[in-house]
Chain A
Amino acid sequence: QDELQESGPGLVKASETLSLTCSVSSASVRSHFWSWLRQTPGKGLEWIAYINDVDRTNYNPSLNGRASVSKDTSKNQIFLTLTSLTTTDTAVYYCARGSPVRWLYFDSWGPGMLVTVSS
């Protein structure tokens, strides 16, 4: 199984921008689909976006264009930027690999990172 590790600030202020990094080992980000998801106690899991092997991206429209995903193949990292934060963006954020069977099956996950948005 691949190893993924999320990193970034654990506390950000409302209206600011969140930037998260997912470092991947044992696999190349040049292959597969790579997604960001988040989890809140009340709403459960929510898929945010993916970037694929040819840098095509796809986003959950519920985020209203606030999310952006990119990657750096030289560092084998995936990035998430989320703008105009509100307290409802407080969640545990995960990066995950899409299965070779279908991108929407997430077969490797990072441990997750709690991000708190303060007002």
Chain B
Amino acid sequence: QPALTQPASVSASLGQSITISCTGNSRDIEAYDYVSWYRQHPGEAPTLILFDVNKRPSGISDRFSGSKSGDTASLTISGLLVEDEAVYHCSSFSGGKTDVLFGAGTKLTVL
């Protein structure tokens, strides 16, 4: 069972915005600002799109933004494009037994 909880799937229309949540607990997301998000297209490796909750690596569109409140982190994608249809994974540092935790991933469908 993944340590971080994400919705299994979400959907939104082309051009709209969508927010994906990622819930942990007091030992991971709530305790540290070390949250990251990855996008994964079918058959490909994940790509880092956000780190330190809301920072974008070079080359990542500013349509991707992140936030955190308590034990829940969120990824918001604005101006949805067809290419945004993918699985999105959240990750967090943890002060528990395992240093790095992941969610099970959220499949985004762009209608």
Contact = CB atoms under 8 A, between A and B. Distances in A.
B35 to A, nearest CB: 10
A44 B51 contact: no
A105 B99 contact: no
Given A105-B48, A109-B46, A111-B45, A47 B105 contact: no
B38 to A, nearest CB: 8
Main SS of the interface on chain B?
A: loop
Interface of B: 1-2, 34, 36, 38, 44-48, 51-52, 57, 89, 91, 93, 97-100, 102-105
Contacts of B51: 99, 101-102, 105
A44 B98 contact: no
B104 A112 contact: no
Nearest to B102: A45
B48 A44 contact: no
Interface of A: 42-47, 58, 60-62, 94, 96, 99, 101-102, 104-107, 109-112
Contact of A102 (B2, B34, B98): B34
A43 B98 contact: no
B102 A44 contact: yes
Given A45-B46, A99-B48, A107 B100 contact: no
Given A61-B97, A62-B98, A44 B45 contact: no
B82 to A, nearest CB: 23
Contacts of B34: 102, 104
Contact of A106 (B48, B52, B97, B105): B48
